[in-house]
């Protein structure tokens, strides 16, 4: 146990040294580190609890996705049946299905064939799961039911998450913050972490809006009063203005131009009234559609609808052919700015709900760093003194080994670009406890072997070989706990699991190599006649 070949000793020293060196970039300012070669730039990332910032967990509103999907299916059915000239008496959404009652049972074969075409394989052409988006069944001859399965909804939700992540990235980047993290979590969630953000109110406003903008015509043929009594025509929506007093409008469901066809949106001021406005520009297709609609409807009002609220409903005075325009509607400078950010970034495919928010101010973060440092220094200091008092020169060896161990933990953490949280610092402090234990196990074993009458070198040798098995066993159990913690934990708790887990690995490594090498070197040098512990 005490004999090392030259190569082995060199390999141990080199490994420990290299791992420790990876911790070096943490001691230099970021600007300096950035000028170094890429491989040397890896460093620890401070968790949001230490540097301050906002952690927001968003969830795609599955109920809204389902409702959207069902309504879209209903509209598809209406279109298909009209094109196929199949008459029907009822078309409703019921539960997870769309039900249509045909006027004539004889047409059911035609209707079924046409409606079955609406169903497409899930997951696109590639990697399809064999499941279909719709399950079309027929009942009692003239009733056809199109069921939207859970798999279809899940598929939509998954797509929504993918699209939403991109849109959120564009929105958050407009805030001009440093290194925001936007990540999918599970099937229907998105995690947004913005370091350094003190007040997430604005961020939440930007994330919480779907920003679905439509240009639609106002239905002037039907009085609004009729719709208010619950008898709105099926091709219209009853919507309200976004500002108080809430004015009802009857707006056609058909979208003239959608927000997806905008190429740019900028905040500005109206030249005459100097009110804040948002000016926008359509792409070619959008411009053509808008020009055509305004040509056909001069003198009639159209509506700009944002998230099912009417922002404004101006009357078309003349055809708008240039493909650009402006929205005015009691904006403040801030809200005009926000709306243009949202329009540029695009609409979310489905509404997002904030289900968790954790924000730490910079003051608390700085306090936590100071406290973490303080407790680490005090803890380490106490342990160092205690070990020296208990084991003398061997205590000193233990302290050196533990110091190398801690440096290696920071090296590995930097190499992984891991996040250091306050519980993570606690993990390091506790690792010091575990690391010391491995030395205690070895030394106590050596003491026993000495008492059993072995010669010093024999006792040290036996002490190591017997204690190392125990060290391995006991550390694996703690490692299992750390692994579980990593698996179930989020944020700060996961940070704790990471440092604890890495700490256990480096502890086992140092116990098996570094400590042994130090003691072996000392034995060779001093040739002790008795063991001084």
Partner 1 sequence: MRLLRIVPDDTKFDFMQFRRISFPISAVLSILAIGLYFFHGLNFGIDFKGGLLMEVQSKTPTADLSKMRATLSGLNLGEVQLQQFGGPSNVLVRIAEQPGGDAAQQAAVQKVRGALGDSVEYRRVEVVGPRVSSELLSYGVVGLGLAIFGILIYLWFRFEWQFALGAMIANVHDIVLTIGFMSVTQIDFDLTSIAALLTILGYSLNDTVVIYDRIREMLRRYKKMPMAELLNASVNQTLSRSVITHLTVTLALLALLFFGGQAIHSFAATMTFGVVLVGTYTSIFIAAPILIYLGVGRGTDALTGPDSGKASTKSK
Residues in region 426-465 near partner 1 by CB under 8 A? 426, 429-430, 432-434, 436-437, 440-441, 444, 447-448, 451, 462
- Cα–Cα distance for residue pair 394/444, rounded to 1 Å: 11
Instruction: Find where tokens 């009209």 sit.
Output: 82
C-alpha distances in angstroms, 190 versus 21, 181, 326, 353, 489?
36, 10, 33, 10, 17
Is residue 51 near partner 1 by the rule CB under 8 A? no
Is residue 309 near partner 1 by the rule CB under 8 A? no
Encoding tokens for residue 25? 């970039």
* Residue 417 DSSP SS3: coil
Is residue 499 near partner 1 by the rule CB under 8 A? no
Is residue 502 near partner 1 by the rule CB under 8 A? no
Cβ 276 to partner 1, closest distance in Å? Answer: 23
Is residue 308 near partner 1 by the rule CB under 8 A? no
Is residue 160 near partner 1 by the rule CB under 8 A? no
* DSSP type of residue 374: H
- Cα–Cα distance for residue pair 360/293, rounded to 1 Å: 50
- Angle subtended by helix axes 333-345 and 150-173, to nearest 10: 130
- Cα–Cα distance for residue pair 461/458, rounded to 1 Å: 5
- Cα–Cα distance for residue pair 408/498, rounded to 1 Å: 14
- Cα–Cα distance for residue pair 349/132, rounded to 1 Å: 21
Of the candidates 102, 313, 422, 517, which one interacts with partner 1 according to CB under 8 A? 422
- Cα–Cα distance for residue pair 429/433, rounded to 1 Å: 7
Is residue 198 near partner 1 by the rule CB under 8 A? yes
Report CA 518 to chain centroid distance, whole Å: 46
Q: Are 144 and 137 in contact (CB under 8 A)?
A: yes
C-alpha distances in angstroms, 169 versus 55, 172, 181?
15, 5, 9
Is residue 358 near partner 1 by the rule CB under 8 A? yes
Bridge-based pairing state of the strands 419-420 and 45-46 = parallel
Of the candidates 10, 477, 524, 526, which one interacts with partner 1 according to CB under 8 A? 477
Of the candidates 16, 468, 482, 508, which one interacts with partner 1 according to CB under 8 A? 482
- Residue among 23 and 500 whose Cβ is closer to partner 1: 500
Is residue 75 near partner 1 by the rule CB under 8 A? no
Give the x-and-dash track for 367-406 against partner 1 (CB under 8 A): xx--xx-xxx-xxx-xx--xx-xxxx--------------
Is residue 332 near partner 1 by the rule CB under 8 A? no
Interacting positions 204-243 with partner 1 (CB under 8 A): 204, 208
Is residue 307 near partner 1 by the rule CB under 8 A? no
Is residue 11 near partner 1 by the rule CB under 8 A? no
Is residue 81 near partner 1 by the rule CB under 8 A? no
Of the ranges 36-44, 172-180, 238-246, 488-496, which one interacts with partner 1 (CB under 8 A)?
Answer: 488-496
Instruction: Find where tokens 């502890």 sit.
Output: 507
Is residue 192 near partner 1 by the rule CB under 8 A? no
Of the ranges 105-113, 169-177, 201-209, 329-337, which one interacts with partner 1 (CB under 8 A)?
Answer: 201-209
Cβ 363 to partner 1, closest distance in Å? Answer: 6
């Amino acid at each position: 146990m005490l004999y090392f070949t030259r190569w082995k000793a060199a390999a141990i020293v080199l490994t420990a040294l290299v791992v420790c060196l990876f911790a070096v970039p943490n001691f230099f300012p970021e600007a300096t580190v950035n000028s170094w070669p890429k491989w040397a730039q890896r460093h620890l990332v401070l968790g949001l609890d230490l540097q301050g910032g906002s952690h927001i967990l968003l969830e795609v509103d599955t109920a809204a996705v389902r409702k959207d999907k069902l309504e879209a299916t209903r509209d598809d059915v209406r279109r298909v049946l009209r094109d196929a000239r199949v008459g029907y008496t009822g078309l409703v959404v019921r539960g997870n299905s769309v039900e249509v009652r045909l006027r004539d049972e004889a047409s059911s074969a035609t209707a079924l064939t046409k409606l079955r075409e609406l169903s497409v394989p899930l997951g696109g052409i590639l990697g399809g799961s064999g499941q279909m988006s719709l399950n079309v069944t027929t009942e009692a001859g003239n009733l056809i039911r199109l069921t939207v399965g859970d798999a279809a909804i899940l598929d939509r939700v998954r797509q929504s998450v993918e699209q939403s992540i991109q849109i959120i990235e564009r929105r958050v980047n407009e805030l001009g913050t440093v290194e925001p993290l936007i990540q999918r979590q599970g099937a229907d969630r998105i995690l947004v972490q913005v370091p350094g953000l003190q007040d997430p109110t604005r961020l939440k406003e930007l994330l919480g809006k779907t920003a679905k903008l439509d240009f639609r015509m106002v239905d002037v043929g039907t009085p609004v009063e009729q719709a208010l009594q619950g008898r709105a025509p099926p091709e219209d929506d009853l919507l309200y203005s976004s500002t108080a007093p809430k004015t009802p409008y009857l707006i056609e469901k058909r979208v003239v131009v959608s927000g997806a066809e905008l190429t740019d949106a900028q905040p500005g001021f109206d030249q005459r009234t100097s009110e804040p406005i948002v000016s926008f520009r359509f792409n070619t297709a959008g411009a053509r559609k808008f020009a055509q609609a305004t040509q056909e409807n001069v003198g009639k009002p159209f509506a700009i609808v944002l998230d099912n609220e009417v922002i404004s409903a101006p009357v078309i005075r003349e055809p708008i052919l240039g493909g650009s325009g402006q929205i005015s509607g009691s904006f403040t400078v801030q809200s005009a700015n926000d709306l243009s950010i949202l329009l540029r970034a695009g609409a979310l495919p489905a509404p997002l709900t904030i289900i968790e928010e954790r924000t730490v101010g910079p003051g608390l973060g700085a306090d936590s760093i100071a406290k973490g440092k303080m407790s680490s220094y005090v803890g380490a200091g106490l342990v160092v003194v205690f070990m020296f008092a208990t084991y003398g020169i061997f205590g000193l060896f233990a302290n050196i080994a533990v110091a190398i161990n801690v440096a290696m933990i920071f090296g590995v953490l930097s190499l992984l670009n891991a996040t250091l949280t306050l519980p993570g610092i606690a993990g390091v402090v506790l690792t010091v406890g575990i690391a010391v234990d491995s030395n205690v196990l070895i030394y106590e074993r050596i003491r026993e072997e000495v008492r059993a009458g072995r010669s010093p070198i024999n006792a040290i040798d036996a002490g190591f070989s017997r204690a190392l098995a125990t060290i391995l066993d006991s550390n694996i159990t703690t490692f299992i706990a750390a692994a579980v913690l990593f698996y179930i934990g989020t944020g700060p708790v996961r940070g704790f699991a990471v440092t604890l887990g890495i700490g256990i690995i480096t502890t086992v490594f140092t116990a098996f190599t570094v400590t042994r090498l130090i003691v072996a070197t000392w034995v060779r040098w001093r040739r002790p006649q008795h063991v001084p512990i």
